[in-house]
Structure 1
Amino acid sequence: MPRPLDHARRAELLSGVIAYIADHGLAELSLRPLAEYLGTSSRMLIHYFGTKEQMLVAALETQRPDIAALFRGIEDPAVLRSRLSHSFAINTAGHGAVSNRVLLQVLGAACVPGSPFDSYANDAIQVLVTAMTETLARIDPAHDDPEAAATLLISGMRGLIQDFWITGDEDRVTRAMNRLVEQAVLYSR
């Protein structure tokens, strides 16, 4: 009879997976070193998650913020600009930065044809673009193409966050972020 899952231990492992990948990267992820870091065995990781890829997707899903709540109730461009600037700050510092570093690696891996992360990456992008599109359309019902503006804003922010992690140039990237937000939201009045 299979061993029942300890859900508290599973949640603890998922949190550790995110921390490990943020520190060691996704490219060379191997179950044995990961299991050692987590204080378990590769056999137990398979028991809890099935495959390495399923484990990573499960870990990422525990980190996904409530995107609808992030944009809920925004009726004014100034509030949207403020919320986006706050989101940028969270995703470049602290706990949000850890999960974002992992997410960026997964999005990169999803670019490979047949990637096991393709579905997760598509969903992660679509959730953000949909929420931003709805917000821009709500702020300015006459906006000519809120979906294109949302795509530009979300993709631009993602690129700037990646730029920040690669270069560490906080001043330049923050200035660029402020300009991106100002220009993207400028037309939503």
Structure 2
Amino acid sequence: MPRTADPQRRTELLRAVVAYLEERGVADISLAPMAEALGTSKRMLLYYFGDRGELVAQAMAASRPNAGEIFDGVASADDFVAAAHTLWRAITRGRQRRSVALLLQVLSLAITDPDTYQPYADDAVTVMLDPIAAALMGLGFEKADARARATLVVSGLRGLCQDGLVTGDRSRVDAAAELLIAAAVAP
């Protein structure tokens, strides 16, 4: 009879995997060294996460802000701006700020190794884009316009995160984020 997975152990292991990937990156991950560093075995990583790709996908999902939750209930342009500021703070100052580097790596790897990373990159974009576009449609923007504006927010803020990570110029990047967020709901 197969053993039932321990959800608490899985949660703890997922947190450790996220920290490991944030520190070491995803490009050359190998499960055996990761398992050793985490005090477990490759077999246990496979047991809890399936395969290397699924492990990366679950680590990304566990480390990103919940855009659906952040943009839920947006009923006005001011609500949208406030939600976008919440997202910006989460990815630049909140607990998700370290995961932005992980996301940027996966997006870059999707360009050079699409067979491995494209599905994870697509998912990372979609889970942010869809709830933001839905909020904009709720404000009266047509679907195509809402998706374009949501793309401005998602890709724009992500690019500004990268700029901030590279340059360390927080005040300039924050000012640019303010402009970008305002542009997303401008008529």
TM-score under structure 1 length normalisation: 0.86
- Over the matched positions of the two proteins, sequence identity in percent amounts to 37
For this pair of structures, how many residues does the alignment match?
187
Q: Which segments of 5 or more consecutive residues in structure 1 lack a partner in the other structure?
A: none
Q: Does 1:21 align with 2:15?
A: no
**In the alignment, residue 67 of structure 2 is paired with which amino acid?**
I
- SS state at 1:5 partner: coil
C-alpha separation in 2, matches of 1:115 and 1:163: 27
Deviation >6 Å, runs of 4+: none
C-alpha separation in 1, matches of 2:143 and 2:13: 45
How much has 1:115 moved relative to structure 2? 2.9
Structure having the larger proportion of residues in helix = 2
C-alpha separation in 2, matches of 1:155 and 1:163: 12
C-alpha separation in 1, matches of 2:138 and 2:47: 46
Q: Does 1:184 align with 2:184?
A: yes
**In the alignment, residue 171 of structure 2 is paired with which amino acid?**
D
How much has 1:22 moved relative to structure 2? 1.0
What does the per-residue CA deviation read over 1:26-75, in whole Å, with 9 as the maximum and x for residues that have no partner? 12322233112211122322333232222111222233443222111112
How much has 1:144 moved relative to structure 2? 7.7
How much has 1:175 moved relative to structure 2? 0.9
What does the per-residue CA deviation read over 1:104-123, in whole Å, with 9 as the maximum and x for residues that have no partner? 22222222354333223212
C-alpha separation in 1, matches of 2:128 and 2:101: 17
Residue 112 of structure 1 corresponds to 112
Residue 46 of structure 2 corresponds to 46
Residue 161 of structure 1 corresponds to 161
C-alpha separation in 2, matches of 1:3 and 1:111: 39
Residue 135 of structure 2 corresponds to 135
C-alpha separation in 2, matches of 1:84 and 1:95: 16
TM-score under structure 2 length normalisation: 0.86
CA contact (8 A) 1:57 1:117 kept: no
CA contact (8 A) 1:18 1:98 kept: no
- SS state at 1:74 partner: coil
Q: Which segments of 5 or more consecutive residues in structure 2 lack a partner in the other structure?
A: none
How much has 1:4 moved relative to structure 2? 4.2
Pair 120,144 (structure 1): closer, same or farther in 2 beyond 3 Å? closer
C-alpha separation in 2, matches of 1:142 and 1:106: 31
CA contact (8 A) 1:106 1:121 kept: yes
**In the alignment, residue 66 of structure 1 is paired with which amino acid?**
N
